[in-house]
Copies of this chain bind each other. A is one copy, B any other.
């Protein structure tokens, strides 16, 4: 009798969120605040159930989801007292026409876990790391490496099988041994490969809200060549920890590859330590927690 306008999986999850927040509301005396990282309409809508204690949402994606944008606009317009955090000023800006963002808090890395490599090995290759998907710019990375005449390693899970087979595999074949797909690496293995690369290519084809891979590369001491989109210019210091080029400018990026040798690897590591440490992220969140719960 009823027309179904959303799929069953949506409602299964939606009812889980409803139950979670009904339960949390009853038990809110046991908590100081609720911090939500779920980027789903029901998570935003149902979180409004909680009023006795502060609610914080961290938005890990830009404003790419119309129903969430509208929910945020509604909550903003109704003066609903929630705290919104995003992971970069670039990401925050995407929400400007929908809602006020209260804080930008960069993601932080546990630097004790990430090995720093102070020296670039001889004949080090370039590296692409990240999901094998169109918006991550795998093709542009291959293009840059080929134009620069450097070897390229590619590490990352295949998120878009059709894209991989149609667009990437032919390029791998054509490149022979100069471009190598390593598959998806464990984190520590990835960091080792990162540390032994001349540079990370980060030619993103969407507005990356943060760019954790680029920060990880810098943490290992490896500079980054990125397209100037999304948060790239917030995380990479042009000329100090890598280079920013305009989007699509693979020839310009290729021309800068030799200059990667001039970037002191210690600068890259220090930049991450100073700006993107786990401790710093935790301290900032704790400051927000204290200011909201006091």
- A→B interface (CB under 8 Å): 1-2, 5-12, 14-15, 18-19, 22-23, 26, 39, 41-42, 45-46, 48-49, 61, 64-67, 70-71, 74-75, 77-80, 135, 206
Contacts and interface: CB of A to CB of B under 8 A. Distances in A.
B22 A67 contact: no
Given A2-B65, A22-B74, A48-B49, 17 more contacts: A1-B61, A5-B7, A5-B9, A6-B7, A6-B10, A11-B70, A14-B41, A14-B45, A18-B48, A18-B75, A19-B78, A22-B78, A23-B78, A26-B78, A26-B79, A45-B45, A45-B46
A160 to B, nearest CB: 12
Contact of A19 (B23, B67, B74): B74
A19 B11 CA distance: 20
Given A1-B64, A1-B206, A5-B10, A48 B71 contact: no
A14 to B, nearest CB: 7
Indicate how many identical chains form the complex.
Answer: 2
Contacts of A22: 48, 74-75, 78, 80
Contacts of A49: 48-49
A71 B18 contact: yes
Contacts of A15: 67, 70-71, 74
Nearest to A67: B11
A66 B11 contact: yes
Interface of A is mostly: helix
A79 B49 CA distance: 15
A206 B1 CA distance: 9
Nearest to A78: B22
Contacts of A10: 5-6
Contact of A2 (B7, B42, B46, B61): B61
Contacts of A45: 14, 18, 42, 45-46
Contacts of A2: 39, 61, 64-65
